[in-house]
Amino acid sequence: MKQYVIAGASSGIGLELASKLLAEGHKVIGLNRQPGPLEGQSNYIHYPIDFTTTELTFPALDGALDGLVYCPGSIVLKPFRSLKEEDYLSDFRINFLGAVALIKQYLPLLQQAQQASIVLFSTVAVQTGMAFHASIAASKGAVEGLCRSMAAEFAPKIRVNAIAPSLTQTPLAEKLLNTEQKIQGANERHPLKQLGTASELASAAKWLLESSWISGQVIKVDGGISSLR
């Protein structure tokens, strides 16, 4: 049995990933505002943490950590002229600084594992310019830089990778996909004519947790939107 920390395990991709790991008999520690559907399930422990706040207090954990996944994020889509400093700071806090604080807290436990893995989340908008994405792309760009820097620094003991998804059907994207017209339009923008699902992204994250020869990579799971025309 391995032990994993998942920030944001109460919904969306984090919930799907936690469910997959628990189904294989692993222990999952979920750090979320709410316990979520996994509360009471064997091998799952929830600690209440809100990654949108400036003061983060993490629980003391015992034993080596085999993996850490940071799923909290934001989707702030505004014209550049409408973005305020608070928008950039809010996106940077939840997408970047929360991940930094979490990794710093549990780095000693990750180092205790025979080989550990960190998985972060970026967005396809970092490497594919998209209108109205200035704030979120800037903060996720910092995540990609962090990923590669840590991968170099922590090798060979700890692998660090990131996933850059396109629009995915999760609670976070609900406002962008709350009508059939919006869903159909989003499907049509992707070469594969469909949106990603939380389960598909969770499978990619699980693969990165388990793959022993991948580090410093930003994996695009985006329906082909970044490379195909």
CATH code: domain of residue 153: 3.40.50.720
Contact 191, 228 (CB under 8 A): yes
Q: Is residue 89 part of a domain?
A: yes
pLDDT by residue (tens digit) across 77-110?
Answer: 999 999 999 999 999 999 999 999 999 999 999 9
User: How far is Cα 151 from Cα 205, in angstroms, rounded to an integer?
Assistant: 16
pLDDT of residue 114: 95
Residue 121 lies in domain: 3-221
> Would you say residue 174 has pLDDT above 90?
no
Tell me the mean pLDDT in the region 52-75: 95
Q: Which amino acid is at 174?
A: E
Q: Is residue 118 part of a domain?
A: yes
Query: At 131, is the secondary structure helix, strand, or coil?
Result: coil
Task: Provide the number of structural domains found in the chain.
Answer: 1
Instruction: Please choose, from the candidates 62, 124, 53, the residue with its C-alpha nearest in 3D space to the C-alpha of residue 90.
Output: 53
Residue, of 119 and 168, whose pLDDT is higher: 119
Contact 14, 32 (CB under 8 A): yes
pLDDT of residue 118: 98
pTM for the predicted model, two decimal places: 0.95
Q: Is residue 125 part of a domain?
A: yes
Task: Give 128's DSSP letter.
Answer: S
pLDDT of residue 182: 83
In this structure, how many other beta carbons lie within 10 angstroms of the beta carbon of residue 191? 14
